[in-house]
Amino acid sequence: MREKIELARNFGSLSDGQKQALIEKVKTKALEGTIEYFKRKEA
């Protein structure tokens, strides 16, 4: 619990560049549905 409180107190938002880098990093897996299996379409 203390860890989470400390994290919340020191939270800083991402810059636009950091946000874009994160999006690029996860884009392929997000589109493929390899992580969130419930989003996969059944054939």
How far is CA 10 from each of CA 7, 15, 31, rounded to the nearest angstrom?
5, 15, 32
> Could you tell me the residue ranges of all domains in the chain?
13-43
Task: List all residues 6 or more positions away from 43 whose beta carbon is below 8 Å from its beta carbon.
Answer: none
Of residues 13 and 30, the one with the higher pLDDT is 13
pLDDT digits (tens, 9 = 90+) for 22-41: 999 988 887 877 777 676 66
The predicted pLDDT at position 24 comes to 93
The predicted pLDDT at position 42 comes to 64
**pLDDT > 90: percent of the chain:** 40
Average pLDDT rounded to a whole number, residues 7-35: 88
